[in-house]
Amino acid sequence: MALITSIIIPPRIESIDWRVIAELLSLMIVVQALKEYKVLEKIATISLSNLRSARSIGSVIVILTAFMGALITNDVALIALVPLTMTIAEKAKFEPMWIVIIQSQAANIGSALTPIGNPQNLFLFEKYEIGIWEFGSLMPPFVVFGVCWTLVMNLLNTKRKIVFDVPSSEIREPQKLGIFIGCFLVVMLSVFRIIDFRVGLVLTVVVTLVLERRFFQKIDYFLLGTFLLFFVFI
């Protein structure tokens, strides 16, 4: 579609919203750090360790997934938590697919809450210069209703008592993690237009070059490319 429209109207570099691309790339890098250093798994294992039924596990999983979807994007929340759900189900010998289905729903609902929850939110937030307080007042009713409805759907899970051990998970390289959390906070400030977005991008890229160059190999460049072509097409 971008190529077709470029035949009709020559593409212009200023058509691309570089602020959205830069913030999306910065977020991808810092979220990759949270995933690689096992922060998400550690939070999940602590939350699930004392539960003793598929229904209670489903309730906590829904809330955790929605929360992480709002904070670190819906797809990363699912990539981190669905394997844990499957492992617990295997150990406790119950059918996990209903929990995984509502977990997917919770990730998408939760990600609607914040500008960084998914790329679409980030684009809308920046394109139309929506204020953070305006955004924050519009979305909570929808998200609260969606999470509550997902918890109602979880009532279809069995109340049968189960016994299992949550797989242990330890946070890796806490010193490096602390630095990337600092980068995450700077990126958040740039998203909320408190500091220039270029500061967050340069800081994140430089820190990653110094500490973890391998993160660059795990970025979803297809998503960034999709957005670039989307801007050209629009």
Mean of pLDDT values over 1-9: 90
> DSSP states of 170-213 as a string?
----HHHHHHHHHHHHHHHHHHTTSS-HHHHHHHHHHHHHHH-G
Q: Which residue reads 């959205």 in tokens? A: 20
d(CA 19, CA 123): 9
Kindly state the tokens that stand for 214.
Answer: 């391998």
Partners of residue 25 on adjacent β-strands: none
171 pLDDT higher than 80: yes
164 pLDDT higher than 80: no
Question: Residue 49: helix, strand or coil by DSSP?
Answer: coil
- Helix/strand/coil (H, E, C) string of 75-101? HHHHHHHHHHHHHHHHHHCCCCHHHHH
Query: How do residues 59-102 score in pLDDT, each as one tens digit?
Result: 999 999 999 999 988 988 998 899 888 888 888 888 889 999 99
Mean of pLDDT values over 14-42: 90
